[in-house]
Amino acid sequence: MLLAIKLAYRNLIGAGLRTWLNVLVLSFSFVVIIWIKGIMVGWDHQAKTDMTQYEIAGGQYWQETYDPFDPLTLDISHALIPAEVMPEIEAGDMEPTLLIPGHIFPNGRMQGVTIRGIRSGQSIWKLPTEKLDTVVDAIPAFIGLLMASSNKLETGDLVTIRWRDANGTFDAAEILIVDIFSSNVPGVEAGQVYIPLERLEELTLLEGHATILSYRDPEAPRAELTGWTLKPKEVLTRQVDELIKTKSTAQTILYGILLLLAMLAIFDTQILSIFRRQKEIGTYVALGYTRREVVGLFTVEGTMHAVLAAIAASIYGLPILYWQAKVGWTLPMDASDFGMAMAQTLYPVYTIGLVISTVLLVLITTAVVSYLPSRKIAKMNPTEALRGKLQ
Amino acid sequence: MEIIEIKNLVKRFPMGKGEFTALRGVDLNFGKGEFAGLIGPSGSGKTTLLNIIGSLDVPTEGSVTVLGRAIGKLNQKEAAQLRKESLGFIFQSYNLLQVHTVYENVEFPLLLLKLNVTERKKMIMDALEWVGLTDKVQSKPPQLSGGECQRVAIARAMVKRPSLVLADEPTANLDAANSHNILKMMENLNQELNTTFLFATHDEKVINYLHRKIFLLDGKVDNEEIIRNH
């Protein structure tokens, strides 16, 4: 094997430009595959981090009738906060959120919203709830950037808000936009208005009620609460996993095509080598190689393209990949339109596993592609090969 | 001591729907240190016989024993082992590895024998000294003349000190002066190292150097001349 590697290396280096063209194409595949996979990992990481920081915290309990995909049930999706979680709430490790459907009337238009009652002193999300801790004539509220830009709202704007109380009676008041936040999580921005929990309880006559209970520590064991459904973090982020899986499939097809092109070049080179190097093959056999060993030599030679490509990719690819990890990749379109947790700029994350799996993928694929045409050598007649006669 | 024993050798090749008989009952023996040649026109079977002796091909009938090993009974691995350890080949078109240097070309048989670097280096330099190419160590075949290429091929064939060297039309691509140089060199090596040389040729220049001449015609031994006993 060592001899085959040594000879293959000599043959490849001796072949000059042909080798380097293949190596260049293959190294490009390496860099692109690692970059694409890195973007996926980075996106996954960023989406889950943002969701944790702005929406789901360490996990949640949902009031049993709450269904985020059925707004019509929102009116009835609340219940008294169970007494057994009160110490956790008082310690600031759990936050109740009350969700009530309502409407706002920005610039003379009517817009359906979810009014989120949230405690101003919370510390489990990065939401600017401290801004709610203010005394103003209207109800202090903050909204997400997505909501602000779609409704042309700015900090300091007064907007009329309408809701129905526990008895089903419509009521309305003014809210004052005290802050606008940006999160990369459309779910917490689009159509959401955040007001102090106690004000919402007051407005809706639902004192001590909540729709969602979000807890800080995802690792701590959670008890079942009657009338509430436990939604651990991994369940709440499953949608992101599935979305990324779908996107990954599409990206796999993309880099599969790229890899296919590189493999075509290797395959073509192997076919051409066997066609042009018949005399050489015969000579190897005459000097003491078995035909099987010559097949091995040609396979190693083809596979070594991938090794050289990995080296080349590490020379010019590492700085590029590092730079990308630093500056990120800014999406050419508005990421908020995607309807999922996605930052405008994605930062690729390269793990050891990602790099090793990519190198193995390319190496194994190249080895197979190199071996397939080389099998022909095993059927060659060495005396004909020595004369360079095509077989 | 006989190093090649050929008994009633027949070699047939498939040709279209029928067969072509290249060798028809050849009986020959060669001893150690011979400088012999198979002489005959194209199609007389000399290259076929050389290929069988070199374990690159197998007999259809009869037997060929080289250095005590029956060629027809060797599997691929055993045949390769025989070539690797005991046989040297010289070809009409040199068959050098084009992208390797002179040094690397000569080194190849020694790499197959898994010799260490020091041993290899000494043997390669000795071989290159025999053929007068120590100044071309780093050259590659495309940078050499035909005569130099054939000298590299001889060095490659001789570097492992094989018992038997098989040379198929070694001077066919060389001019008269180069041919004489090459043949003289091989004759010297034959005498110094007692290596058996077996040629396949119809070149008069080669024939004049041979100590034993075997004339083949239509796949049979037609005539034999012994000029000088080894």
Tell me how close the Cα of B134 comes to any Cα of chain A, in angstroms.
21
Q: Do B109 and A287 touch (CB under 8 A)?
A: yes
What pLDDT, on a 0 to 100 scale, did the predictor assign at position B15?
86
Is residue A289 included in any domain, yes or no? yes
B111:A3 CB<8 A: yes
> A78 with A193, same domain?
yes
CA B26 remoteness from chain centre: 19
Say yes or no: A93 and A211 in one domain.
yes
Q: What is the pLDDT of residue A198?
A: 94
Question: Positive or negative CA dihedral for B136, B140, B141, B146?
Answer: negative
From first to last of its 230 residues, chain B has per-residue pLDDT tens of 789 999 999 999 988 888 999 999 999 999 999 999 999 998 899 999 999 999 999 999 999 999 999 999 999 999 999 999 999 999 988 999 988 999 999 999 999 999 999 999 999 999 999 888 999 999 999 999 998 999 999 999 999 999 999 999 888 888 888 888 888 988 988 998 899 999 999 989 899 999 999 999 999 999 999 887 76
- The maximal CA–CA distance of chain B, rounded, in angstroms, is 54
Tokens 């080598």 locate to: A273
Q: Using an 8 Å CB-CB cutoff, list chain B residues near A3.
A: 111-112, 114
A282 within 8 A of B95, measured Cβ to Cβ: yes
Give which of A96, A91, A87 is closest to A119, Cα–Cα.
A96
Residue A72 DSSP code = G
pLDDT of amino acid B230: 64
Amino acid at B180: H
Pairing of strands B212-217, B196-201: unpaired
Q: Residues of B with CB below 8 A from A17's CB?
A: none
Residues A179 and A63 in one domain: yes
Tell me the sheet residues that pair with B10.
Answer: B24, B61
User: What phi and psi, each to the nearest 5 degrees, are found at residue A91?
Assistant: -80, -5
Q: Which domain holds residue A31?
A: 2-52+239-386
A13, A280, A290 member nearest B80 (Cβ): A290
Distance CA B216, CA B194 (A): 25
Domain assignment of residue A226, yes or no: no
Looking at CA atoms only, how far is residue A293 from chain B in angstroms?
A: 10
Token digits of residue B228: 């000088």
Q: What are phi and psi of A225, to 5 degrees?
A: -115, 130
The domain ranges of chain B are: 33-60+73-226
Within an 8 Å CB–CB cutoff, is residue B100 touching chain A?
yes
Spell out the long-range contacts of A365-369 with Cβ–Cβ below 8 A and sequence spacing 24 or more.
Answer: A365/A259, A365/A263, A365/A306, A366/A26, A366/A263, A366/A266, A366/A302, A366/A303, A366/A305, A366/A306, A367/A299, A367/A302, A367/A303, A367/A306, A369/A263, A369/A266, A369/A267, A369/A270, A369/A302
CA atoms within 13 A on the CB side of B214: 23
Query: Do A27 and A43 share a structural domain?
Result: yes
Residue A312's pLDDT is 94
Query: Is A230 a member of any domain?
Result: no
Q: Which of B47, B93, B99 sits opposite A14 (nearest CB)?
A: B99
Q: Does A333 touch chain B (CB under 8 A)?
A: no
Same domain, A257 and A297: yes
Tokens of A305: 């393209």
Same-domain pairing of A293 and A361: yes
Task: Report yes or no on A76 lying in a domain.
Answer: yes
Residue type, A300: V
Q: What is the CATH number of domain B33-60+73-226?
A: 3.40.50.300
Single-letter code of the amino acid located at A71: P
Any chain B CB within 8 A of the CB of A386? yes
pLDDT digits (tens, 9 = 90+) for A122-144: 999 999 999 999 888 899 999 99
CA distance to partner chain B, nearest, from residue A308 (Å): 18
One domain, residues A173 and A295: no
A89 and A41 within one domain: no
Same domain assignment for residues A302 and A263: yes
| Same-domain status, A350 and A365 | yes
What pLDDT does residue B110 have? 95
What's the domain count of chain A? 2
| CA A160 – CA A380 distance, rounded (Å) | 87
pLDDT at A244: 76
Q: Is B94 helix (H, G, I), strand (E, B) or coil?
A: coil
Residue type, A10: R
How is residue A329 written in tokens? Answer: 């990749």
C-alpha A118/C-alpha A181 separation (Å) is 15
Same domain flag for A42 and A72: no
**Within 13 A of A227's CA, how many CA atoms are on the CB side?**
14
Residue B98 touches partner A, C-beta closer than 8 Å:
yes
Residue A340 pLDDT = 60
Q: Is B220 on the interface with A (CB under 8 A)?
A: no
Closest Cα in chain A, distance from residue B69 (Å): 16
Tokens of B119: 């041993």
CA distance A310 to B127: 39
Q: Where are the beta strands (DSSP E) in chain A?
A: 59-63, 79-80, 94-104, 111-118, 139-144, 158-164, 170-181, 192-196, 209-210, 212-215, 228-232, 329-330, 345-346
Distance separating alpha carbons of residues B35 and B187, to the nearest angstrom: 7
User: Are the beta carbons of B112 and A289 separated by less than 8 Å?
Assistant: yes
B109 near A CB under 8 A: yes
Distance CA B90, CA B109 (A): 13
Cα–Cα distance measured from residue A230 to residue A222, given in angstroms and rounded to the nearest whole number: 8
A286 interface with B at CB cutoff 8 Å: yes
* Cα–Cα dist A129/B167, whole Å: 93
Specify the pairing of strand B164-168 against strand B196-201.
parallel
Q: Best residue in A283, A292, A293, A387 to probe B by mutation, most B CBs within 10 Å?
A: A283
B92 in contact with chain A, both atoms CB, cutoff 8 A: no
Strand, helix or coil at B39?
Answer: strand
* A6 interaction partners in chain B (CB closer than 8 Å): 111
pLDDT < 70 positions in chain A: 333-342, 390-391
Measured in angstroms, the CA of B154 and the nearest CA of chain A are apart by: 13
Residues A182 and A246 in one domain: no
From the candidates B90, B110, B112, which should be mutated to test the interface with A, based on the most A CB atoms within 10 A?
B112
Per-residue model confidence (pLDDT) at position A339: 58
> Are B171 and B181 in contact, with CB atoms under 8 Å apart?
no
In angstroms, rounded to a whole number, what is the distance separating the alpha carbons of residues A75 and A139?
Answer: 21
For B112, the closest of A287, A382, A383 (CB atoms) is A287
**Residue A227, in any domain of the structure:** no
Q: Which of A9, A297, A386, A387 to mutate to test the interface with B (most CBs of B within 10 A)?
A: A386
Does the beta carbon of B51 lie under 8 angstroms from any beta carbon of chain A?
yes
Tell me the sheet residues that pair with A215. Answer: A94
SS3 call for B154 = helix
> What is the rounded distance in angstroms from the CA atom of residue A224 to the CA atom of residue A217?
16
- Chain A residues in contact with B112 by the CB 8 A cut-off are 3, 287-289
What confidence tens digit (pLDDT) does each residue in A229-271 have? 999 999 998 877 887 788 778 878 887 888 888 888 888 888 8
Find the CB nearest B108 among A285, A287, A388. A287
Tokens encoding A4 = 């085959």
CB–CB of B111 and A280 under 8 A? no
